[in-house]
A and B are shown apart, each in its own frame.
Chain A
């Protein structure tokens, strides 16, 4: 083969490599990416108002919970274990309150407050689209990887890396990171109850800082239910008292 042909082949290889690199390179987000991110949060396509019963397991420790969620920003977690009856965790937007039978007033908690190792967001949806802005997007053949940056300092993790299956918009894994990119927690979605509605059956949370056993969240039931505003009122317990008095 002549040296000219050799040179031509070398240039061809370089050009293909460059093209491949450009195609894999992180690109700025498009409106389609924004839509995919918003649609890929667990429960993003679930009924806007629902009740779920779930079990959180961390090592030998098990916690039974009932979750009421309305829209993306209101959630009420009710503790079902006999010793924990009467306690609630309530979220409105970024605010989280702890309600206990021994205290008349709601107690404000940090947004990252955890139940048996899992945060409220990890139980009822991470709300990535509202908490994070897309920094860059990697478009793979089957997967889309979002590199996300917290919109403000209240968000517990400064950065996140969210991997979504392109065809179904199904989230596979979210790495929650510190500002320097160090991965602190990994949230995985190994099984789904309803892929169309993005209702998980199992969520696994791994804490890479504390190195404890992984936290597994199993959703026993998820039912659409109209929920009144009053259920999520931190200062007025009357609706909660009425609803849960006999349960």
Chain B
């Protein structure tokens, strides 16, 4: 304990050296906190964007529709659609934490304006009221969102992706004819009025995307089936518990059903997460090495500058191991104090970056710039201090070895 306190007093005595060392450790800590904050914000943002962009927290679909499909494949064959889904929907919506269970119907076909060239589309029939209850977002570029009430026959409306609207030459108010094959392979057509133009945030998808009321999609496909039920929860953290509850409900139904969590459907999220974790590990290892080298250098310099002092300590009977503990305690104090200072500086830096409301260019395939925001990650604040203690302990190994091997006569004679 005395040696530990002695180490602290040594740090206080050599303020210039200590300041430099603390600055290095603090800067490393801030770098780690900013990286962790950026990654956490990106993960959370992407996760919620995918869930509230239409994926939902859970999906209930026919087991046959998912059989043999690649994980993450989102298209569901209409031939294996959900039958008798209204009763199931009511049961799911009675579960705790469930905001809504919205039916969707996937549609693919051709769209055309009168005398215009047809353009292929990938459409989704939705229940707008339930989507709003689940917090699903529609990014309108022009016009209006779909009405909550089912449209009357002959008054069907659709939202077009920006790229699809451009390709068709369509604007809000125009009537577009949709052409699609129903489950029996028979052709059907439906006139829809363009309610609005939207963006999904992904340029490629915008060139094909179309959204219409579930009732309109059922009219076009001449079916009572739906592709799936998308379940939205009040909080993403409740996904596992809600999945278990939903699985218990669907287990007894005559049509075999499968419940899929958002993670399994969001293969893109998994890919981005793995990419970011790789980047984080790479950056973290660089910071780690830099801090180790910088601190090791500072500590070696500290030993060199204090050669006569250390020689004197050895001359008055201080053992090599006592000297080693004293130097190690100095390093550990540097790690703890530098980490804490870095935490404080990190708090300020995160607040500053968030306050600046910086924008980043759209990621590949996206259409809009994204906000540069950093999350406060409590475990990163604690982890950074612990990491710095480890880093400084490692950095102290070389100076300690040098001090322990000191010859007293040479040390006392050191200039």
Contact = CB atoms under 8 A, between A and B. Distances in A.
Interface of A: 61, 63, 79, 83-84, 87, 98, 100, 102-105, 107, 116
B220 A107 contact: no
A104 B114 CA distance: 10
B87 interface: no
Given A102-B219, A103-B177, A61 B191 contact: no
Interface stretch (B180-188, B235-243, B342-350, B366-374): B180-188
A83 B222 contact: yes
B259 interface: no
B179 interface: yes
A110 to B, nearest CB: 11
A100 B180 CA distance: 11
Interface of B: 112, 114, 156, 175, 177, 179, 184-191, 219-220, 222
B189 A83 contact: no
B406 to A, nearest CB: 88
B184 A61 contact: yes
A7 B163 CA distance: 82
Given A107-B112, A107-B177, A107-B179, A102 B187 contact: no
Contacts, number: 39
Contacts of B190: 100, 102-103
A87 B188 contact: yes
Contacts of B189: 98, 100, 102-103, 107
Contacts of A84: 186
Nearest 4 pairs of A and B residues by beta carbon: A100-B189, A103-B189, A102-B190, A103-B191
Nearest to A79: B186
Contacts of B187: 87, 98, 100
Contacts of B186: 63, 79, 83-84, 87
| Residue of A61, A83, A100, A102 with highest tally of chain B CB at under 10 A | A102
Contacts of B220: 102
Nearest to A104: B191
Contact of B188 (A61, A100, A104, A105): A100
Contacts of B175: 104
A117 to B, nearest CB: 9
Contact of B114 (A79, A102, A105, A116): A105
A84 B179 CA distance: 14
A182 to B, nearest CB: 26
Given A100-B190, A102-B190, A61 B177 contact: no
28 contacts: A61-B184, A61-B185, A79-B186, A83-B184, A83-B186, A87-B187, A87-B188, A98-B179, A98-B187, A98-B189, A100-B187, A100-B189, A100-B190, A102-B156, A102-B190, A102-B191, A102-B219, A102-B220, A103-B177, A103-B189, A103-B190, A104-B175, A104-B191, A105-B177, A107-B112, A107-B179, A107-B189, A116-B185
Contacts of B114: 105
A46 to B, nearest CB: 27
Contacts of B185: 61, 116
A103 B184 CA distance: 19
B40 to A, nearest CB: 48
A105 B56 CA distance: 37
Contacts of B184: 61, 83
Nearest to A83: B222
| Residue of B175, B185, B187, B220 with highest tally of chain A CB at under 10 A | B187
Given A79-B186, A100-B188, A105-B177, 18 more contacts: A61-B184, A63-B186, A83-B184, A83-B186, A83-B222, A84-B186, A87-B186, A87-B187, A98-B179, A102-B156, A102-B191, A102-B219, A103-B191, A105-B191, A107-B112, A107-B177, A107-B179, A107-B189
B188 A102 contact: yes
A87 B184 CA distance: 14
A103 B219 CA distance: 11
Contacts of A87: 186-188
A163 B290 CA distance: 85
Nearest to A105: B114
A102 B190 CA distance: 4
B73 to A, nearest CB: 24
Nearest to B220: A102
Contacts of A116: 185
Nearest to A89: B187
A107 B185 CA distance: 17
A147 to B, nearest CB: 34
A84 B222 CA distance: 9
Nearest to A84: B186
Contacts of A100: 187-190
A63 B114 CA distance: 29
Contacts of B179: 98, 107
A81 B187 CA distance: 13
A229 to B, nearest CB: 23
